[in-house]
Amino acid sequence: MFLVFILLFFCCDGFLIDTTNPPGTGQYMTDKHYKLLMDLFIEERQARVHLEDFVTQLQKELVQTQTALGNKLPELNKENNTLEQHVKELKNKTEVLDNRLIAVESENIKLKMELNSLRKSHGATENKTHYFDTEIQSLKQLKSVANLQAVFRISNQTDHLEHELQNTNSQIVALQSSDNARKQDFLGLYNKTMVVEQTMNSQFQSSETINKARIQKVAVDVSQNFIKVTKALGDITAYNQRTAVSLYPFDKTYSSGSTIMFSGIITSNGLNHTRLADFQNKGYFTCDKDGLYLISVSLTSPTKSARVDLYKNDNILQYMYLQHVASDELTTFAALERLSIGDTIIAKAGTTVHIHSTYRSVLSVFQLTT
């Protein structure tokens, strides 16, 4: 801002040019040029403010996006922890059901063994019954009372064995019914476990997919905002690195055709030490960045009648006539020129002229655009 103020100060001093100067062959800075210059300054200031506001907005959006991501991450972690807890509970239930299945299978094996034992006992009882039936048929043919009593005794034993056989059959049927019921219970528990496991897996996969999509979207938003901020910062850096320099000449008398050495540096921007040393050694401005430049030359001279020629490379840019009624009067020239890398701005004495130094005579070059 201080640099712009200095440039405006020297540009405004340009309106103190003596009206007695004879008309030159070059172009002078008119009101139209001055208005155009002021419009450029205003537009540049507005563009800079707009760019700073845009960068501030992007930084706010980046902070908001990071804050939203930080706020969502605990919620997503909480949901993942809940799903993990459900999976653990499901695994615990599955382990319990597996243990129950093992117990049921063990009990089933035990019941089968008891059933086989009962079947063997039943077969032995049937064999005895068949034997007793055979004996009864043989005894029926006996005539004696003793034989009849023996037959009755055997018949009673047979009835008792048949009763025990019926009880055994009833127990076998009850055991088979209990075994079938337990099989049905186990199948029901197993089917229910499979349904619960499938439901939990589906919910977990759905939640995981949604969470991944959310995280990817947030990551994309953060990446896009970072790219915008980086570009804006690059634009600001490029803006701040625009070339600007003010040079003052040696206080001496220059002969006709000699170069007025602007070797002293008042202020500079966007130039490294090598470039500044080059200005000090050569005494004139050499462009190192393409763009539109504001060139301002202010000369204070005690010589009453003299001329200074401004060159862009080897071509005349402007003739400056220094004709004064009194000594030590200021003459200023300002113009807009598009310069390319390697172009030079040189001031040469058209006639013998004495130029004052330090802040009384200044060559200022300011890059407006790229």
Task: Identify the pLDDT of residue 209.
Answer: 85
166-192 mean pLDDT: 79
pLDDT tens string 96-152: 888 888 988 888 898 888 888 888 888 888 887 878 777 777 766 655 555 556 667
Question: Is residue 266 within 8 Å of 248, Cβ to Cβ?
Answer: yes
Most confident of the following: 319-323, 327-331, 350-354: 350-354
Same domain, 85 and 129: yes
Out of 188, 214, 237, pick the residue that ends a domain: 237
Same domain, 146 and 229: yes
271-280 mean pLDDT: 86
Task: Identify the pLDDT of residue 260.
Answer: 92
For the stretch 12-38, what's the b/e string if a residue is b when 16 or more beta carbons lie within 10 angstroms of its beta carbon? ebbeebeeeeeeeeeeebeeeeeeebe
In a domain, 20, yes or no: no
How far apart are the C-alpha atoms of 210 and 216, rounded to whole Å?
A: 10
Examine the pLDDT at 259 and tell me if it is beyond 90. yes
In a domain, 43, yes or no: no
Please, which pLDDT band fits residue 28 given cuts at 50, 70 and 90? Answer: low
Out of 205, 237, 269, pick the residue that ends a domain: 237
Range of the domain at 350: 243-369
Same domain, 163 and 300: no
pLDDT tens string 61-86: 988 888 888 888 888 888 888 888 88
Higher pLDDT, 4 or 53: 53
Same domain, 254 and 121: no
Task: Identify the pLDDT of residue 17.
Answer: 44
How far apart are the C-alpha atoms of 297 and 348, rounded to whole Å?
A: 12
Examine the pLDDT at 3 and tell me if it is beyond 70. no
Q: How many domains is the chain partitioned into structurally?
A: 2
How far apart are the C-alpha atoms of 45 and 360, rounded to whole Å?
A: 28
Same domain, 187 and 319: no
